[in-house]
Amino acid sequence: MSVIDKAKELGMALSSSNELKEMRDAEMMMMQNPEAQEIIKAFNEKREMFREVQKQGQELTESQKMQAEELESKMLDNPYIFNFFSAQQNFEKILEQINAIIGDAIGGGSGCGCDSDDCGSCGCDGGCH
């Protein structure tokens, strides 16, 4: 089997993973919630405004920094947004583990992707040392 075939196989396994399903489900729930959508819209508008200020070489004022923190807090207080962020982080952990395993294998390591004696945290089932 070629490297490309293995990559396709990995992609298929990721596409059917529980982590991706949970992230997509959480995203759909978030996108269907009007309150979450309003919060996200407000956050994106402020973020864009703050980027423009910074592009012009200006520092954000304390008031602007407080506004950003309040919007971030409001986002995390919304259960739909919080659930999406949590599911997204779980999926990203899987991707990080995969990248570590690939990087370790390319670098001549064992290919498990962990740097510690506690392999239970990396998912390699302790067979790497």
pLDDT at residue 115 greater than cutoff 80: no
Provide the pLDDT for residue 129.
Answer: 46
Q: Are 34 and 40 in contact (CB under 8 A)?
A: no
Provide the pLDDT confidence category of residue 114 given band limits of 50, 70 and 90.
low
pLDDT over 90, % of the chain: 74
Based on the number of CB atoms within 10 Å of its own CB, is 116 exposed (0-12), middle (13-18) or buried (19 or more)? Answer: exposed
Tokens of 64: 């602007």
Provide the pLDDT confidence category of residue 1 given band limits of 50, 70 and 90.
confident
pLDDT in tens, 57-93: 999 899 988 998 999 999 999 999 999 999 999 999 9
User: Within its chain, how far is the Cα of 47 from the centroid?
Assistant: 19
User: Within its chain, how far is the Cα of 35 from the centroid?
Assistant: 22
Query: Is the pTM higher than 0.85?
Result: no
Residue found by looking up tokens 């995390």 in the block: 76
User: Within its chain, how far is the Cα of 71 from the centroid?
Assistant: 19
Neighbours of 101 (CB within 10 A): 20
